């Protein structure tokens, strides 16, 4: 067991830290760089992405031969954490959801021809992508077996009908991964497809207004009314839709954890100067035991989440699905994120509730972390199933 970083990963980590400090934090501090949905303005983004490419910090998760840096999941962990010290960070390095998870799954499972057509432009930053799975009730949500969007085979083409919602990035995405029902089989009833935004037969019904700041392209409700997908744009085999989803979500949930750990650390960082300097009742805030307990608790939870993330990353790198480990990391890190930001707002006093610091942005953003990619409750349901199946072996060492 060795928690030290290899010289190569430490080099990436420290260069990302310096890049974020030098180039991204100053952008984040200037409101002129925000778009109307409170994300980094696309014009500003293009310039900073070019800088990240020149610095050799582009697409860490992708193979070197495709223009990435070829890091494994454990290597990504400290690097993604550094990126999200800024709320603008991950997208500047092409490591933001949903492109990040879409690239990782396409790189793992698609054919060489599909990689060239669908993956390479996302890696190059020429197009954005979306992953379309969730549907309005009574369709697929926490339980994908309720999926209603159907793909019916007509010759060499699949014809899609149905509705999806909360599809991140759909307003600007060019490449879509779609999960649809292809049969009533309970285990093999779903199939994954690729389609291009320019194809007819689908439309965006609305960009759903949300509580927090939005990813580029928003979170959209979309309808399919006869979208035709050639069979060559099917991912894996017919009936492998759930498998594709599990492969995608395993790593995508964990890269969320890496980024959220970075954001939780930044939230605490926002309190450091204030608690050291602000005086109340004859001493600095940092000298009050009540403040020490809040900070100590938050710091400890961040470390717990990070260790769970690293352990799950190591299991994924070893070829394991790491279902238990990813679920534990997802629950702990998403809830820690929320609590750490809440603590930071509390300690900054009234200013923490203002738009003078990024804390209120983070607070509104963080609420989604406990819902997306599986709610805390569904992950705990999965953990409970493992526990009751495995008994004491739930905690077995590798």
Ligand X SMILES: Cc1cc2nc3c(=O)[nH]c(=O)nc-3n(C[C@H](O)[C@H](O)[C@H](O)COP(=O)(O)OP(=O)(O)OC[C@H]3O[C@@H](n4cnc5c(N)ncnc54)[C@H](O)[C@@H]3O)c2cc1C
Does 127 bind ligand X (CB under 6 A)? Our answer is: no
Tell me what percent of the chain is helix, strand and coil, each rounded to the nearest 5: 55, 15, 30
Does 193 bind ligand X (CB under 6 A)? Our answer is: no
**Number of C-alpha atoms within 13 angstroms, CB side, residue 371?**
9
- Token output for 49: 């992405």
Does 142 bind ligand X (CB under 6 A)? Our answer is: yes
Nearest approach, Cβ of 262 to ligand X (angstroms)? Answer: 18
Nearest approach, Cβ of 166 to ligand X (angstroms)? Answer: 4
Does 255 bind ligand X (CB under 6 A)? Our answer is: no
Does 167 bind ligand X (CB under 6 A)? Our answer is: yes
Q: Which stretch binds ligand X (CB under 6 A): 20-28, 131-139, 147-155, 349-357?
A: 131-139
Q: Out of 50, 225, 377, 390, name the contact with ligand X by CB under 6 A.
A: 377
Nearest approach, Cβ of 201 to ligand X (angstroms)? Answer: 19
29 contacts: CB under 8 Å, gap ≥ 6:
none
Q: Cα–Cα distance between 327 and 308 in angstroms, integer?
A: 10
Identity of the residue, 14 or 378, whose beta carbon is nearer to ligand X in the bound complex: 378
Q: Cα–Cα distance between 179 and 115 in angstroms, integer?
A: 18
**Number of C-alpha atoms within 13 angstroms, CB side, residue 106?**
31
Does 368 bind ligand X (CB under 6 A)? Our answer is: yes
- Residues in a beta bridge with 176: 130, 195
Peptide linkage before 138 cis (omega within 30 of 0): yes
Nearest approach, Cβ of 56 to ligand X (angstroms)? Answer: 29
Q: Which stretch binds ligand X (CB under 6 A): 249-257, 325-333, 338-346, 375-383?
A: 375-383
Nearest approach, Cβ of 283 to ligand X (angstroms)? Answer: 42
Nearest approach, Cβ of 134 to ligand X (angstroms)? Answer: 3
Q: Out of 58, 88, 131, 202, name the contact with ligand X by CB under 6 A.
A: 131
Quick one: how far is CA 189 from the chain centroid? Answer: 26
Does 378 bind ligand X (CB under 6 A)? Our answer is: yes
In the complex, residue closest to ligand X by CB: 141
- Token output for 174: 């060019």
Does 338 bind ligand X (CB under 6 A)? Our answer is: no
Identity of the residue, 72 or 378, whose beta carbon is nearer to ligand X in the bound complex: 378
CB burial class (10 A; 0-12, 13-18, 19+) of residue 42?
exposed
Does 219 bind ligand X (CB under 6 A)? Our answer is: yes
Number of shown-chain residues binding ligand X (CB under 6 A) = 20
Biggest CA–CA distance in the chain, Å, is 80
Does 133 bind ligand X (CB under 6 A)? Our answer is: yes
Closest by CA to 178, choosing from 164, 192, 168, is: 192
Closest by CA to 264, choosing from 347, 339, 358, 337, is: 337
Q: Out of 75, 141, 162, 262, name the contact with ligand X by CB under 6 A.
A: 141
Q: Out of 375, 383, 386, 387, name the contact with ligand X by CB under 6 A.
A: 375
Identity of the residue, 141 or 358, whose beta carbon is nearer to ligand X in the bound complex: 141
Q: CA-based Rg of the chain, rounded to a whole angstrom? A: 21
DSSP state of 285: G
DSSP, residue by residue, 281-305: TTEEGGGSHHHHHHHHHHHHHHHHH
Nearest approach, Cβ of 323 to ligand X (angstroms)? Answer: 15
Q: Which residues bind ligand X (CB under 6 A)?
A: 98, 131-134, 141-142, 166-168, 210, 219, 368, 371-373, 375, 377-378, 381
């Amino acid at each position: 067991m060795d928690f030290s970083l290899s010289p190569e990963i430490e080099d990436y980590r420290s260069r990302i830290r310096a890049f974020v400090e030098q180039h991204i934090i100053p952008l984040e501090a200037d409101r002129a760089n925000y778009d109307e949905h409170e994300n980094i303005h696309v014009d500003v983004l293009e310039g900073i992405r070019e800088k990240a490419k020149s610095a050799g910090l582009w697409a860490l998760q992708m193979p070197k031969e495709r223009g990435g840096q070829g890091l494994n999941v454990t290597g990504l962990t400290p690097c993604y954490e550094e990126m999200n010290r800024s709320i603008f960070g991950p997208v500047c390095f092409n490591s933001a959801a949903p492109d990040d998870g879409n690239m990782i799954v396409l790189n793992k499972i698609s054919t060489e021809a599909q990689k060239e057509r669908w993956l390479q432009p996302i890696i190059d930053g020429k197009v954005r992508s979306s992953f379309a799975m969730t549907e309005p009730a009574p369709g697929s949500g926490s339980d994908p077996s309720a999926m209603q969007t159907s793909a019916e085979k007509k010759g060499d083409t699949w014809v899609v009908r149905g509705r999806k919602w909360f599809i991140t990035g759909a307003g600007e995405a060019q490449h879509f991964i779609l999960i649809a029902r292809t049969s009533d089989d309970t285990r093999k009833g779903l199939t994954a497809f690729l389609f291009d935004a320019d194809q007819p037969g689908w439309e965006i019904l609305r960009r759903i207004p949300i509580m927090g700041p939005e990813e580029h392209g928003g979170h959209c409700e979309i309808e399919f009314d006869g979208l035709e997908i050639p069979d060559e744009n099917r991912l894996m085999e017919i009936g492998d839709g759930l498998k594709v989803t599990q492969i995608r979500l395993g790593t995508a949930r964990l890269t969320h954890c890496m980024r959220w750990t970075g954001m939780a650390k930044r939230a605490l960082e926002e309190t450091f100067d204030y608690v050291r300097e602000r005086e109340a009742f004859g001493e600095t805030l940092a000298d009050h035991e009540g403040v020490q307990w809040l900070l100590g608790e938050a710091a400890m939870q961040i470390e717990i989440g990070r260790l769970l993330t690293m352990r799950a990353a190591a299991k994924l790198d070893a070829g394991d699905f790491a279902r238990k480990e990813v679920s534990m990391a997802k629950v702990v890190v998403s809830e820690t994120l929320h609590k750490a930001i809440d603590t930071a707002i509390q300690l900054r006093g009234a200013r923490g509730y203002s738009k003078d610091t990024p804390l209120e942005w983070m607070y509104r953003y963080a609420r989604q972390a406990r819902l997306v990619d599986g709610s805390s409750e569904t992950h705990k349901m999965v953990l409970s199933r493992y526990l009751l199946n495995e008994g004491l072996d739930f905690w077995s060492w590798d």
